[in-house]
Amino acid sequence: MTMMYRSNKLGCGPPAAGLRAVRLSGRLTHSPYVGMPYVSELREWPLQRPHEYTSMGAFEVPHDQPVIMSSKQRDGWLADLVTAAKQAIPGINLTVIRMGGPESQLPAALLGQDVLLASEPGPVVARSQADDRDGIFEIWQDIRTDGYTEGGNSLVLTMHGAALVAPFVTFAMNHPELSRLSDLSLTSAPAGHGWEEE
């Protein structure tokens, strides 16, 4: 993997020519909605019998990262990101987002047929690429919410498609929400099946 930029301020030169995919990764350490009150979605599970408590113990895993958003906020934040990316980069044909079980009602921007919410986006992206689809925006995220899924509040955005690399870099460098990320890096992604190289 060739490192292009590594900076918390993505103010660097243009991407190398011929690149087929580019990847931005970082971590959210603060809520994008600091100072805004919101309805907590922390729900008590309706557990009744002893074995139910025992079974739900599967979710009791230690987390290094705090919960910084409700699921509704996370989904809204992802929806805004998808909408902004599509406006800035018209060649996006498909967005695949890592998303586990249902928590809140999904926003419209995540329910279109040009978006797929899947347990793991990489194989889905690779499947579409195998049929010569291009212009795929892959969002791997494990943003913790009030629900019970594990997560590290990290975000890995991969834009697949040679023609979309430069517009994506411009988008990433100028999008205010992405500048919030810590440990920010922008790298070339392996061509094709980026998910395999982890």
Partner 1 sequence: MSERVELLAALHWNIVPPFAQENPQLAGQVDVIGRCVAAQVRAVMPAGHQGAPIDLMLCSTVISGAITGMTAISERLFNVIESECRLRPLAHLHAYMCAGWGYALAYFLRHTDSRLVMLSMVDVDIHDLAYHRNHTQIGKLGFAITTLLLGLPVDRIDKVRTGGPFGGSAFKEFVLALRQHNDLHKPTLSFIPFFGPGLSSIAERIIGTANLGVNRHDDYGHCFGSDPWIGIIEWLQRTPLDERINVSTGMVALSGYFALCNVGLSPQTRIGSSVVIGRESELESEIAQSSRLLTVAELHRKELSTT
- Could you tell me the two tokens for 115? 């978006």
- Looking at beta carbons only, is 114 or 183 nearer to partner 1? 114
# residues near partner 1 by CB under 8 A: 43
Which token pair is 25? 């990764």
Q: Which is nearer to partner 1, 153 or 188 (CB)?
A: 153
Q: Please say which residue, 3 or 61, places its beta carbon nearer to partner 1.
A: 61
Q: Does 19 bind partner 1 (CB under 8 A)?
A: no
Which residues are paired to 188 by β-bridges?
A: 22
- Categorise residue 132: left if φ over 0, alpha if ψ from -120 to 50, beta otherwise: left
SS3 18: coil
Q: Are 136 and 124 in contact (CB under 8 A)?
A: no
Tell which positions 67-106 bind partner 1, by CB under 8 A.
Answer: 93-94, 99-102, 105-106
Query: Does residue 197 interact with partner 1 by CB under 8 A?
Result: no
Phi-psi region of 183 (alpha: psi -120 to 50; beta: other; left: phi over 0): left
Residues 28-67: x/- map of binding to partner 1 (CB under 8 A)? -----------------xxxxx-xx-xxx-xx-x------
Could you tell me which residues are beta bridge partners of residue 137? 95, 159
Residue 3 Cβ vs partner 1, minimum distance, rounded to whole Å: 25
Count of residues in the chain? 198
CA–CA dist 131, 129 (Å, integer)? 5
Task: Report the nearest approach of partner 1 to the CB of residue 190 (Å).
Answer: 19
Q: Which residues of this chain interact with partner 1, rule CB under 8 A?
A: 45-49, 51-52, 54-56, 58-59, 61, 93-94, 99-102, 105-108, 111, 113-114, 116-121, 123-124, 127-128, 130-131, 133, 147-150
